[in-house]
Structure 1
């Protein structure tokens, strides 16, 4: 499995975590509280954390193509919620799962 971790510095990290989790809960299994969430994306789980002024997301997938899709899914949905902050994409880094 491949894993990428992204971060977005924002004073609204908890708000965006809640919006992401509630939005995805209409389509896939989601578990969340005020600062942590797990979203069951088709290619693998996405975990999101809100700490201080940072929202982080970790996506996991079996191959590079699906990992890129997972990053795009998170970025695309977050862009809808963070449009007032001119959000375009998280700063992503590859890690080993």
Structure 2
């Protein structure tokens, strides 16, 4: 059995007309402390507790998280969602995490 088989995953789709803007803002912000790469349509942030992949498609920001265990996944969800909501203070966003890898 491989080491990655126990990894925890979750994903969210956030409806916003500013998907690309928030993707870039999150990646730039997190990139000051951890490894991050991005363009206007996709990005990845590599935290010590796991990875966050971001994808902007029209008016949807897709977030996909990968962490080594459930505790790290919950922490990653909180960090990503709280920063997104802070950046998007001008609009009421909802981040609903769903278990499992994104389809």
Q: Secondary structure at the match of 2:97?
A: strand
1:96, CA displacement in angstroms?
4.8
Aligned partner of 1:12 among 14, 18, 41: 18
1:40, CA displacement in angstroms?
0.6
Distance 2:28 2:67 in 1: 22
Aligned partner of 1:2 among 8, 13, 34: 8
Aligned partner of 1:33 among 14, 17, 39: 39
Alignment partner, residue 86 of structure 2? 80
CA-based RMSD of the aligned residues comes to 1.3
If the length of structure 1 is used for normalisation, what is the TM-score?
0.93
1:55, CA displacement in angstroms?
0.3
Distance 2:24 2:52 in 1: 14
Alignment partner, residue 90 of structure 1? 95
Measured at CA, do residues 96 and 50 of structure 1 come closer, stay the same or move farther in structure 2, by a change above 3 Å? closer
Matched residues, number: 96
User: Where has structure 1 moved over 3 Å in runs of 4 or more?
Assistant: none
Q: Deviations over 1:5-24 (max 9, x none)?
A: 01110000000001000001
If the length of structure 2 is used for normalisation, what is the TM-score?
0.88
Q: Secondary structure at the match of 1:40?
A: strand
Asked which structure has the greater CA Rg, the reply is 2
In structure 1, the gaps of 5 or more residues are none
